[in-house]
């Protein structure tokens, strides 16, 4: 909104934020996150109390008409942690009394958050009939991918996958960053650490070309941002089985000083014991799973890396960080805790659903897909295997 504030929150919307309350003594709204942090947002006005008489009118510069953007609680939870963003609250009905009058403002009902949308602009001149999670061009790509990879499935399984097609997008549809989650990646350093920075490695011409392409894509997605951190790891490539190049960040210097996470990882032999007697299996592979977890804002400078095309740091969890598997395993365990080893096994970003009958499997698979949808996780259809 073009008023000098980064965010203005409507009162009905703010009540949807996790655990909010008004502190009328200080005229602020207290917002509490699921991870225990508390923020105070000052009110700048409300229609619930009589307004004071306006001061005598004086010549002033005309105020620009406001521009309204809707943001979800998950997206807002990310922005509220940023140091350079200021928050104020206002009752949305005050917009109807905006001076000068703003005729295009309409109040629209708040619908439940769509799982694959973190922020979407809403036109105030025409009530929106729907908001798509991906651009139309992506929608066509999604349809083609669904048709290609579900054609040979059992009809009931194929119908279920198509019902949850938003869990299997052909590309990321986050608006810049993943949604806020209960789990984010933190990097705790030992007391005697040293800031590590290293000269970039030499790259071949094909590697340099691929690096530039991947950096542009990561920037577009908001997964990296320009950095001026004292930390700086070099980048390198490894060739995958299909001949393409996988980008790696050499975090050896950072990992050397990182306190190791003792979160227990599952044993593969124990997991396989659970599969005895089952006949139907579905493997779900999350799309770039690590990139679906945010790095804590205070720790993002530690993920900085250097290249001939610039100096960047990650906003999402990167491959190569020493505690990344444990962080992701904890996120998955939190989502599936009550059904783990009943009909779901999770090993980092691989999810296995298993059942004795097809009818059971359809129920189990629906439950798993519904949880992924509600928590905003995406899977890669081409790497999944269905019963």
pTM for the whole thing? 0.61
pLDDT value for 153? 85
Stretch 292-315: mean pLDDT = 94
Q: How far is CA 143 from CA 101, 134, 136, in A?
A: 44, 12, 11
Q: Is it the case that residue 345 has pLDDT exceeding 60? A: yes
pLDDT value for 364? 96
CB atoms within 10 A of CB 386: 21
In tens, the pLDDT along 208-262 reads 999 999 999 999 888 999 999 999 999 999 888 778 888 889 999 999 999 998 8
In tens, the pLDDT along 28-68 reads 666 666 555 666 666 555 444 444 555 555 555 555 555 55
Q: Is it the case that residue 20 has pLDDT exceeding 80? A: no
Q: Which architecture, in CATH terms, is 139-279+287-383? A: Roll (3.10)
pLDDT value for 280? 94
Share of the chain above pLDDT 70, in %: 61
Q: Is it the case that residue 137 has pLDDT exceeding 60? A: no
Comparison of pLDDT for 131 and 69, the residue scoring more: 69
Residue 270: band (very low, low, confident or very high) from pLDDT cuts 50, 70, 90:
confident
Which tokens in the block code for residue 294? 């945010």
pLDDT value for 15? 52
Q: What is the chain's mean pLDDT, rounded?
A: 75
Residue 7: which of 77, 55, 112, 111 has the closest Cα? 77
- What residues does each domain of the chain span? 5-47+64-94, 139-279+287-383
Q: Is it the case that residue 123 has pLDDT exceeding 70? A: no
pLDDT value for 149? 82
Residue 14: band (very low, low, confident or very high) from pLDDT cuts 50, 70, 90:
low
Candidate from 172-186, 203-217, 227-241, 277-291 with smallest mean pLDDT: 172-186
């Amino acid at each position: 909104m073009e008023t000098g504030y980064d965010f203005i929150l409507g009162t009905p919307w703010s009540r949807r934020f996790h655990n909010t309350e008004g502190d009328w003594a200080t005229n602020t709204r207290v917002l509490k996150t699921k991870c225990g942090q508390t923020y105070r947002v000052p009110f700048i006005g409300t229609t619930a109390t009589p307004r004071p008489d306006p001061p005598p009118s004086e010549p002033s510069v005309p105020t620009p008409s406001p521009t309204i953007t809707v943001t979800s609680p998950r997206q807002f939870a990310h922005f509220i942690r940023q140091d350079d963003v200021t928050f104020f609250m206002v009752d949305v009905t005050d917009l109807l009394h905006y001076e000068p009058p703003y005729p295009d403002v309409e109040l629209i009902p708040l619908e439940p958050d769509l799982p694959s949308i973190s922020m979407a602009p809403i036109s105030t001149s025409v009530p929106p009939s729907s908001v798509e999670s991906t651009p139309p061009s992506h929608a066509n790509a999604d349809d083609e991918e669904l048709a290609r990879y579900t054609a040979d499935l059992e009809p009931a399984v194929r119908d279920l996958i198509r019902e949850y097609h938003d869990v299997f997008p052909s590309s990321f549809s986050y608006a810049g960053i993943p949604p806020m989650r209960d789990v984010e990646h933190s990097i705790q350093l030992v007391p005697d650490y040293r800031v590590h920075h290293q000269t970039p490695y030499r790259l071949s011409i094909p590697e340099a070309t691929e690096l530039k392409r991947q950096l542009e894509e990561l920037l577009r997605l908001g997964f990296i941002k320009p950095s001026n951190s004292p930390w700086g790891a070099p980048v390198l490539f490894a060739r995958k089985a299909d001949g393409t190049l996988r980008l790696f960040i050499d975090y050896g210097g950072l990992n050397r000083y990182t306190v190791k996470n003792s979160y227990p990882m599952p044993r593969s032999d124990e997991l396989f014991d659970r599969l005895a007697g089952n006949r139907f299996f579905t493997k779900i592979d999350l799309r770039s799973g690590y990139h679906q977890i945010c790095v804590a804002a205070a720790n993002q400078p530690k993920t900085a890396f250097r290249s001939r095309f610039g100096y960047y740091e990650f906003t999402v969890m990167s491959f190569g960080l020493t505690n990344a598997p444990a962080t992701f395993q904890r996120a998955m365990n939190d989502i599936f805790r009550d059904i783990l080893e009943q009909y779901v096994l999770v090993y980092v970003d691989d999810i296995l659903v298993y059942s004795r009958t097809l009818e059971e499997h359809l129920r189990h698979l629906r439950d798993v897909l519904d949880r992924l949808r509600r928590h905003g996780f995406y899977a890669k259809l081409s790497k999944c295997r269905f019963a």
